[in-house]
Amino acid sequence: MFGLSVTAPNESVTNCLIVSCTTPHSSAAIRFSCDETVLHPPMPTDSRSTKTIMDHLNPTEYYRAERSPYYIYAPDYQEGSSGIRVLHYLCHILNLHGQEAYVHANVVNEALWIPKLTKEIMHRHYLAGRKPIVIYPEVAVGTPLGLGVKIRYLLNKPGFVAGHTEFDDDEIFVAYREAFIADSGAKHLLFLPACDPSKFNLEGTNPSNRSGIYFFYYRLLTRGGQLLPLTDNAIEISPNNPRSLDELAVIFKRAELLYCYEDSAIALEARMCGCPVVYIPNATMLPEYPKDSFGRDGAAWGTSAEEIAKAKETVHKVFPAYARLYDDFNSQLQKFIVMTQEAARRAGFDYCFPAHTVRANGWQATGDLYESWRANRATICDEGNLVEQYAASMQDGIPGFHLCMRLPQGSEALLADTIDSMFGQHYPNWHLDVITPLPAPDGLESIPCISWHTIPEASKHKAAIDTQVELRNLDLCVELPPGATPDPLCFWRIAKDMAASGKYVGAFVDDDLIGTDGKHHTPRFKPGVNPAQLISSDLAGPLFLRREAWMASGGASERQGSPWFSQLLRVADTFGWHSILHIPDILFSYRGSFPSDIESCLIGLVVQQQTKGMTNEIVPVTSRSWNIRNPLTAEPMISVAVLSQGHLDYLPRCVDSILKKTSYSNFEILITLSEDACHPDIIDWIERAQCNSASVKIRLVRVQPASNHAARCNAAVRACSNDYILFIREEAVVIQEKWLEELVRTCLPPGIAAASPCLIAPSTSKITDAGNILGLKEIVGSPYQDEAKLGDPGYLDTLRIARDANLLSGACLLVRKGDYLAAEGMDENCLGDHFADADLCLKLRSLGHRTIYQPLATVVYGGPISFDLGCDIERKTNFLSAQGNAKYEFLQRWLNRGASDPYWNPNLSLTSVTPIPETEYQPQWRYFPSSGPRILARQLTNGQGIFRVTAPLRALCKAGMASECLWPQEENDREPNVQEIQRLAPDAIIVQHYINDPKLAGLDAWKALPSRPFIVYALDDLLTNMAESNPFRKRIPANSRTRLSYALERCDRLVVSTDYLASEYRHLNSDIRVVPNRLEQELWLPLRSRRRIGKKPRIGWAGGTTHQGDLILLKEIIEQTRHEADWIFFGMCPEEILPLLAEYHSFASFTEYPAKLAALSLDIAVAPLAEIPFNQGKSNLRLLEYGILGIPVVCTDIDPYQGSPACRVANTVAAWTKALRDRIHDADAREQEGAALRHWVLEGYLLENHLDEWLDAHLPN
């Protein structure tokens, strides 16, 4: 049992609380530092305390660094309006208090910290999931921004200024003064002193030497009021005669009196300067004395001599009293911040960002993308028979799942949710043990797979769980929180993946939330097994463990809250992080919020560190995450290598920032410079810097002329005699004192080879690098690059917490010299200025070392020096050539089949630096892993795509013979990049109609990939000889044969539908297979076409828009036979034929087409084709569709129809008319022909009977 308690600070420990963590055998402590907000778990101590921490503070509050931003809806800044000043000052003060605030206005006071709110900022917050708090003054009509938690700030009585008093029911009211509350129900006050005491004060005033009478009004006359004669000789201060604040201060410091017809901050400004105020009562604007914090001091109510005399006597009290208001305001402001942040925390994301606002702003709807992702996955996973096939194939029986749950009182409904979802599993072998102080419900004994254990003492729950794990002897064990609802595939998937490799002892999965409306949202697509990130937040969730690993790692956790976190740490310590499997699929859901207990997580960390003898500090980041700062047990000497190209605009700035800002004392500077950049002025500056730097040694490292980035790094390492070297580009600027210390702390533990800071752009603070992802933005990219700003948490707090990164930026990189040399340094021969740092990181990781992104360190870096290469053709050519060669070399080294970044969830898009679900393609094998071949299809969305690719693939998947990924071609869509191809790792890619430039470029890139997939070109038409009448001809380039030849040279095989096409293209590809078109049984076999339903036989044609030239022949034939038979067209119909028809039916969708064709009840069908090369290459698909319905066919005697039982005729009116009349007048004979045609189709053209043939044709031999 763990205890957590508070100890008062002693004399040696100032400004902090000591929180003791007590275990049955020892204790440790967490120090909450009030200065640095840092948690320090020291070495074990014997100190004890009696009062629990929960009686005094909520530890979660120490982690609320992530805040909702404030949007203040305000008019443009005007000095003359105190209300406007309050709104703008509030923004400034919130920012000074560490919040993030913006003003929605065009004009602001540039002297204050008042950033303008833009759509880009709102969009960025939307993408980051940050719910804004929007503050509207009472004069604003409605809530124009249409988002966020709505705060109505009453700067006056509602309706007094703007006239309207209608507000939304869900607004939270905050009043400037108590007098303004009225009927609003406001429970919060926020009196922001709007008068500037540096201007309005008693300095330079003389009470005995005042002169000048002034009067003030603002809205009096426009509201129907009148000025009184007593102010006729006074000097007017009004909108008609505006004055600046400085001018007013000068006036009030010498004025004798100020008459006021209405309440305003100007009256307070006068009193602060020692000028008494006389309020003139009037029914229009001042019916009663205005209440404020100063009572009647310095103010007269009415014009009596007694009142004015009293005002003069007391006016000196106002300024000191005003100064004391700041204490009250600070208290009110803290309450305001807590109240509004809590309101934002409780508000739903959809409430803060309504769908109509998202649509109106054209923002990327991440929620919509996730809905689309789930819909696609649901379609893919609707294959329960595949689960059954797998279970039946298990040789030694299917693994059993042991589910344990601690059930506190009040969570019974959540347990019911969990049990309901358990019985929806496709996987039957599980048992649930419920450990609880509650009595068992009635009827539970009738459910054999659920056991109830009533144990009142919570301290005995761990032992009870471990006992059940030992007794049940099931294969995989997990502790679930009440309310956890597994996906129907959850247990099947975990069992399958764990069985596939014996090296894993545990597994965790992705998860999401379920809203009150039943919709899934807020997915957590987790970053793989990322040690640094997993110990910095409660991210992993329930951990499925092999029974042996459960027992060997200490069993269940002591505490009920987040038991998996402590267990994860123990399993990693016992078996290593490599023994844990991450399954990238949303397999668990929770209602409302993710189950997490920060206090339990912190205790788990403390206990782990105590066990290992560590003294790390825990640095709060957000409400759900923290950074772990390693102890600085030593201060090793660091060589800081400034990589320079000899630019005096950059090099001195960089070196000066290092010398002035760096608090870490044990370092030297190596200025690495190529010989051709060693100009006299550069050398002169370096020599002066060496002389002026007494404490830090500065050395010049000369490199061969025209050296690249990699060569400069390698030269610096050769010149370095220390264990650590830090590379930093001369364009970078240091802005933190502890930047180097944080990087050194990060690299000190064994196994960590390199670390890099968060890099931000100058002036904008936008992220330029936050640890790179392999394949993001094609080759290498950083999450949130140029999207988020410093301080934004990012998805799953990616930007704010340390994490293992596959690649780090060479712009600022600390590396162990020994590991650098073991990896053979940077490649200056093949990579040079491009990808050399990424290559180094991958080499380090391949040696078993870790590379860490450390956001506790921040460096300004806007990118390498760029030049306008357009004016130097030779230089531009050399640059582009080197870049292209380096890209090719890098891809060849690292983009092997299946290569993907282990820390970028495969469900996330590689085309967006902001993490969003990938919805353009979702491979079936990601959710249904199988040993069958993987086929990626880039198919057309028309009938060609369905018959040639989509239908066969789906039939194969349903039969469990293959796994598919359908990525349909859309107009102006993009091509899969090489990293996406390698991440998908298909065995084969099928393409159709790849003849335009982007598609040919895609084939080029794929062919160059190492261990690339087999590429198949599927062709169903004579693409290079299309008929003039074909409407698609205009989409075919004039040089189509050249383009097709180019494409086929980059493909491994051509698969066509007819022998004619194979013969035509035999010279373009040496491997050609013929696979006929076939029909799907499910669509066609249940259908029946009726016969003889009318007085006359029904002759029909069905087809698409490409048959204009084929139907011209029929006009005269129809004219000759229309009195003997009714003609019916379905689909395309030339205008000249339409009046001759008995019926016309517009085309239907592909899925509706078979049933609609059958419903036409045709007695005879026709299939005319013009005798041109394009039609010679066509397939017999039309005969198959008519034939399977038993409809006899008269068709053109042309290649595709030869060898069938159909009646083939020459394309003459006489031949067609005779063949049709023979069948019009002999119903029995034509129906026999229809039966023969149906038999022919059933024997040779049902898709499901020829799946092996199709699959063989689309896979390598």
As a whole number, mean pLDDT of residues 310-331 equals 90
- Residue pLDDT, tens place only, 122-152: 887 887 778 999 999 988 888 889 899 999 9
Judge if 259 and 219 occupy the same domain. yes
1256 within some domain: no
The domain total for the chain is 7
pLDDT at residue 159 greater than cutoff 80: no
The percentage of residues in the chain with a pLDDT greater than 90, rounded to a whole number, is 67
Say if residue 976 is in the same domain as residue 1106.
no
Residue 28 pLDDT level (bands cut at 50, 70, 90) = very low
Q: What is the CA radius of gyration of the chain?
A: 39
Please check whether residues 81 and 57 belong to one and the same domain.
no
pLDDT at site 354: 84
Q: What is the largest CA-CA distance in the chain?
A: 128
Confidence of residue 37 (pLDDT cuts 50, 70, 90): very low
Average pLDDT, the chain: 88
Supply the pLDDT for residue 614. Answer: 85
Residue finishing a domain among 868, 892, 908: 868
Do 639 and 726 contact (CB within 8 A), yes or no? yes
Of 13, 30, 63, the residue that ends a domain is: 63
Q: What is the model's pLDDT at position 47?
A: 30
Q: Is residue 341 part of a domain?
A: no
**Is 60 exceeded by the pLDDT of residue 994?**
yes
Residues 163-179, mean pLDDT to the nearest whole number: 82
What does the alpha-carbon distance between residue 845 and residue 860 come to, in Å, rounded to a whole number?
A: 26
- As a whole number of angstroms, the distance between CA 779 and CA 262 comes to 67
Integer CA distances (angstroms), 176 to 83, 148, 184, 1145, in order: 10, 21, 12, 71
Residues 486-505 pLDDT 10s: 999 999 999 999 988 889 99
Q: For tokens 């055998």, what's the residue? A: 25
Please name every residue paired with 708 in a beta bridge, in sequence order, or none if there are none.
Answer: none
Q: Do 822 and 861 belong together in one domain?
A: yes
State the CATH number of the domain containing residue 1004: 3.40.50.2000
Backbone φ, ψ for residue 617 (5° rounding): -100, 150
Please indicate, yes or no, whether residues 253 and 298 belong to a single structural domain of this protein.
yes
Residues 685 and 787 in one domain: yes
Give the end of a domain, one of 825, 853, 868. Answer: 868
| Residue 97 in this model has a pLDDT that exceeds 70 | yes
The arithmetic mean of pLDDT across residues 821-832, rounded, is: 96
In a domain, 875, yes or no: no
Measured between alpha carbons, how far is 859 from 381 in angstroms, rounded to an integer? Answer: 46
Residue 441 · residue 525 · CB < 8 Å: no
Which range of 345-354, 1146-1155, 1164-1173 scores highest in mean pLDDT? It is 1164-1173
Verify that 489 and 582 share a domain, yes or no.
yes
- Pick the closest to residue 788 from 797, 776, 779, 780 (CA basis): 797
Assess if residue 616 is contained within a domain.
no
CA distances from 171 to 181, 335, 761 (A): 14, 17, 38
First to last CA, the chain: 63
Residues 857 and 964 in one domain: no
Distance of alpha carbon 384 from the chain centroid:
30
Coil vs helix vs strand at 816: strand
The mean pLDDT value for 377-385 works out to: 76
Residue 478 has pLDDT above 60, yes or no: yes
Residues 1091 and 962 in one domain: no
Tell me if 608 sits within 8 A of 531, measured CB to CB: no
- Are residue 247 and residue 180 in the same domain, yes or no? no
Residue at 1182 is within a domain: yes
Residue 462 lies in a domain: yes
Q: Which two tokens stand for residue 718?
A: 């050769």
Question: pLDDT class for 271, splitting at 50, 70, 90?
Answer: very high
Does the pLDDT of residue 569 top 80, yes or no? yes
pLDDT, one tens digit per residue, over 609-631 is: 888 888 889 988 887 899 999 99
1109's tokens: 């030239």
What residue spans of 1098-1138 are helical by DSSP H?
Answer: 1108-1111, 1114-1121
Q: Which of 152-166, 587-601, 781-795 has the lowest mean pLDDT?
A: 152-166
**How does residue 1175 score in pLDDT terms, banded at 50, 70 and 90?**
very high
Q: Which of 89-103, 144-158, 377-391, 580-594 has the highest mean pLDDT?
A: 580-594
Domain presence at residue 833 = yes
Would you call 719 exposed, middle or buried from its count of C-beta atoms within 10 A (0-12, 13-18, 19+)?
middle
Summarize pLDDT for 195-236 with one digit per residue, the tens. 889 899 999 999 989 999 999 998 898 888 999 999 999 999
- Claim to verify: residue 1109 and residue 1207 sit in the same structural domain: yes
- Whether residue 940 is predicted with pLDDT greater than 60 in this model: the reply is yes
Helix (H, G, I), strand (E, B) or coil at 82: helix
> Residue 546 domain-assigned?
yes
Q: Which domain holds residue 941?
A: 932-1074
- What is the rounded distance in angstroms from the CA atom of residue 177 to the CA atom of residue 337? 18
1226's CB contacts (< 8 A; 6+ apart) are none
Using an 8 Å Cβ cutoff, are 737 and 819 in contact? no
| Residue 365's pLDDT band (cuts 50, 70, 90) | low
The verdict on 288 and 429 lying in the same domain is no
Mean pLDDT for 404-429 is: 91
